[in-house]
Structures are given as C-alpha cells and as structure tokens.
C-alpha cells in the first residue's frame, strides 16, 4: 500500500526535477545566445600608435586643424594607395591623419608607412564586428569611421573632421576650402554613380536639393567624401554612424541634427570638383612559387612584396615564376644558367 502511494510521488518529483532542468536549459541557452549576439556586435578597437610630431618643416598656420579620417583594410593595393594619399597630405599644414585599419591586430606595415611621411597621425586597429561581415551588403568602413569619431571626441575640442578614403583623389584646394567649416560644409564629388557626380544644388547661394543618381529616399543623398564637419558640431550627443550600407552618410548627418539651411556650400558654389571617387581595380594577392631558395636581389624584393601585403612566396605552390635573360625564359628554380 505504501509502495503504491510512493510511486506517484516519485513520478511527480522526477517530473518536477525534469521541468526545472528544462527551464534552466532554456535560460542558459538564451543567455548564451545573448552573449554570442553581444560578442558578434562588439567593436574591438586598439589605438596602435599616436604621433603629434610634425617633421615636414611646415609652419603652423593657426587655422583650425583638419582631422583627416581614412578607413583602410588589408589587400595587395593597401600600401600603394596609402603612399599616394600620404604624399598628398604631406602638402597640407595643420593636419592630423587618423588611419583606422580593418584588422584584428596592429599592422606593422601600416605603422612603418605612416611614420615616413612626417605627418602627425593616429593609427587604429578597428576590425568590423563579425556579424556585419555576413550581411548581404557589407557596411564597409563604418567600424573604422566610428573608431575615429570616438578618438576625436576624446582628444579634440576644435577643428574639422573629413572622411577621405585611401583610393580617392584630392585637389589641395579642397583642404583650404573646408578648414573654416562652421557646422557642415558640402561640395561636389566626381566619378559617382550614373551621373558621374554627386553634389548639392544651389539657388541664390542656398542649398535647395541634391543631384545624385541614387537618391533612395535619403534626406542627404551625398557621398562620404562630399562633406566636412566642425568638431564642435560633431560633439552633438546623438551623433553616430550606423551599420547600414548605403545610408551611412545620410543617417550620420541626420544624427547631427543638420538642417538644409545649415549647409555651407564650397567649391565655388558647388560648381567645381575638388575630390574624385577614384577606385583601384582590386585583385587577389598572388602566391609566387619560386621552387628553390634565392641568393639574388630577388630574395629581398620578394620579401618586400610580402611585407607590403602585395603577395606571398612559396617553394611548393602558387603561380610559376620565370627569369628572362637574352630573350630566353626559364623557370626561376633553374637559375643561374
């Protein structure tokens, strides 16, 4: 009789324990998902190097400093494009170059490159959160610009911020134009979309609209290279740049509380092009098969190519390499001959 009474109690106890374990599992699983979600969205920013030294021998003008923000990422063209841009910025006084690299660690090649220009600079490692790399349209450069904005918030009270990609082309006059920006200045950008240009439209000196081949219901249909922002205006508490591909400029300018009448047109009332959205044709970094150890100048040259991220060298795989002498070509591994 007692055994018959204990059986239902035992079953009820086991059922209760089972339900508790199930609840605990779901709680753990949900917390694990939340942790994973937070980790996927996490921005891991590292300030690699800061230099306020200006070794170019340029006199300080006393004008507002330009904080020139360049998002970049590892690829075989990276060193070439940073070199081209750096040699343009060498001519610009009172500038601080912020280079934010989409890299999990501080890239020694980028650091070495930045030091040789003599320009005051900040080198940041700011990889894109993993969750956004899986998006249908990847919001490239956003993590980099957000990291630069945060650095400026902490380290600057005055000046002008400008977003300049490493593959764009700049007229030096542009820097003279944007330096006196009070809130937000705007100007045309060449080689954009189906119109080959993106620009504000003016009437009687005031911005009345925009000329851009991809309006897409944007309040400010402009290119990232088509505006500059006063640092004091940037310190607006709601200012942010979203991870929304194609809408970064629009929503960033909206977050500043910008009104159409606030826009300061530059470039001769937006009739001149002082910046172009040039783009280098991208190719995959090659692996060069050399077949044997080298004892010529080519050894150091290929090491340089590797250091610059332009390619890689292998003894056993990759593109076959040849050497030419007197019009005759033979595999590199047979050299000398």
Residue 8 has pLDDT above 70, yes or no: no
Residue 35 has pLDDT above 50, yes or no: no
Say which range, 27-36, 173-182, 194-203, has the weakest mean pLDDT: 27-36
Q: Are residues 214 and 324 in the same domain?
A: no
The annotation status of 167 as a binding-site residue, yes or no, is yes
Residue 28 has pLDDT above 70, yes or no: no
Between the two ends of the chain, the Cα-to-Cα distance in Å is: 102
- Please write the tens of the pLDDT for every residue from 70-106: 999 999 999 999 999 999 999 999 999 999 999 999 9
71 vs 307: which has the higher pLDDT: 71
Residue 67 placed within a domain: yes
Query: Torsion angle of alpha carbons 20, 25, 30, 33, nearest 10°?
Result: 170
* Number of other CB atoms surrounding residue 58 within 10 Å: 15
Residue whose pair of structure tokens reads 């005055």 in the numeric block: 158
306 vs 6: which has the higher pLDDT: 306
The percentage of residues in the chain with a pLDDT greater than 70, rounded to a whole number, is 86
- Please write the tens of the pLDDT for every residue from 46-73: 999 999 999 998 767 788 999 999 999 9
Model confidence at 324, pLDDT cuts 50, 70, 90, reads confident
Instruction: Count CA atoms within 13 Å of residue 35 on its CB side.
Output: 6
Q: Given 232, 247, 276, which residue is the final one in a domain?
A: 276
Residue 334 has pLDDT above 70, yes or no: no
Residue 337 has pLDDT above 50, yes or no: no
Instruction: Give 296's contacts (C-beta < 8 A, 6+ positions apart).
Output: 335
Instruction: Count CA atoms within 13 Å of residue 161 on its CB side.
Output: 27
Residue 33 placed within a domain: no
Q: Are residues 247 and 301 in the same domain?
A: no
Q: Are residues 268 and 303 in the same domain?
A: no
Structure tokens at 262: 């606030």
2 vs 317: which has the higher pLDDT: 317
Domain of 312 in residue numbering reads as 287-331
261 is catalytic: no
Q: Are residues 51 and 147 in the same domain?
A: yes
Structure tokens at 17: 């324990």
Residue whose pair of structure tokens reads 């330096």 in the numeric block: 179
* Number of other CB atoms surrounding residue 108 within 10 Å: 10
Could you give the C-alpha distances from 160 to 69, 177, 273, in angstroms and in order? 11, 11, 20
Residue 116 placed within a domain: yes
Catalytic residue among 77, 177, 248, 249: 249
Residue 63 placed within a domain: yes
Residue 18 placed within a domain: no
Number of domains in the chain: 2
Q: Are residues 95 and 241 in the same domain?
A: yes
What's 228's DSSP letter?
E
Q: What is the reported pLDDT for 39?
A: 44
Residue 22 placed within a domain: no
Q: Are residues 173 and 305 in the same domain?
A: no
- Please write the tens of the pLDDT for every residue from 147-184: 999 999 999 999 999 999 999 999 999 999 999 999 99
Q: Which of 310, 273, 246, 287 has the alpha carbon at shortest distance from 81? A: 310
Residue 40 has pLDDT above 70, yes or no: no
297 vs 108: which has the higher pLDDT: 108
Q: Given 276, 295, 322, which residue is the final one in a domain?
A: 276
Mean pLDDT of the residues in the chain? 87
Q: Are residues 251 and 322 in the same domain?
A: no
Q: What is the reported pLDDT for 288?
A: 86
Which CATH number goes with the domain that contains 175? 3.90.550.10
Structure tokens at 68: 């020139």
Residue 72 placed within a domain: yes
Average pLDDT for 185-206: 94
Average pLDDT for 299-316: 85
Instruction: Give 193's contacts (C-beta < 8 A, 6+ positions apart).
Output: 212, 213, 214
Q: Are residues 78 and 212 in the same domain?
A: yes
Q: Are residues 83 and 202 in the same domain?
A: yes
Q: Are residues 308 and 259 in the same domain?
A: no
Residue 37 placed within a domain: no
Q: What is the reported pLDDT for 26?
A: 53
Q: Are residues 180 and 313 in the same domain?
A: no
- Please write the tens of the pLDDT for every residue from 246-281: 999 999 999 999 999 999 999 999 999 999 999 888
pTM attached to this predicted model:
0.83
Q: Are residues 260 and 312 in the same domain?
A: no
């Amino acid at each position: 009789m007692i055994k018959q009474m204990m059986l239902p109690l035992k079953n009820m106890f086991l059922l209760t324990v089972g339900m508790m374990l199930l609840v605990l599992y779901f709680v753990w699983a949900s917390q694990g998902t939340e942790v994973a979600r937070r980790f996927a969205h996490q921005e891991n920013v590292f300030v690699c190097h800061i230099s306020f030294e200006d070794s170019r021998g340029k006199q300080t003008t006393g004008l507002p400093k330009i904080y020139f923000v360049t998002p970049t990422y590892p690829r075989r063209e990276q060193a070439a494009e940073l070199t081209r841009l750096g040699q343009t910025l060498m001519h610009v006084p009172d500038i601080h170059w912020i280079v934010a690299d989409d890299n999990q660690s501080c890239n020694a090649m980028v650091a070495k490159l930045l030091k040789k220009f003599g320009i005051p600079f900040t080198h940041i490692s700011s990889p894109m959160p993993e969750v956004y790399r899986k998006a249908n349209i990847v919001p490239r450069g956003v993590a980099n610009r957000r990291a630069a904005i945060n650095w400026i918030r902490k380290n600057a009270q005055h000046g002008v911020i400008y977003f300049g990609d490493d593959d764009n082309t700049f007229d030096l006059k542009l820097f003279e134009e944007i330096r006196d920006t009070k809130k937000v200045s705007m100007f045309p950008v060449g080689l954009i979309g189906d119109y080959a240009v993106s620009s504000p439209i003016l009437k009687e000196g005031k911005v009345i609209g925009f000329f851009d081949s991809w309006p897409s219901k944007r309040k400010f249909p402009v290119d990232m290279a088509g505006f500059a922002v006063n640092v004091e205006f940037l310190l607006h508490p709601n200012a942010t740049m979203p991870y929304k591909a194609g809408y970064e400029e629009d929503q960033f300018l909206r977050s500043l509380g910008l009104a159409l009448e606030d826009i300061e047109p530059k470039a001769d009332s937006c009739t001149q092009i002082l910046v172009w959205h040039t783009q280098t044709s991208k190719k995959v970094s090659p692996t060069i098969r050399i077949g044997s150890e080298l004892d010529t100048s080519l050894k150091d040259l290929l090491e340089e190519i590797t250091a610059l991220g332009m390619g890689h060298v292998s003894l056993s795989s990759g593109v076959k390499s040849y050497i030419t002498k007197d019009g005759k070509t033979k595999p590199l591994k047979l050299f000398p001959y």
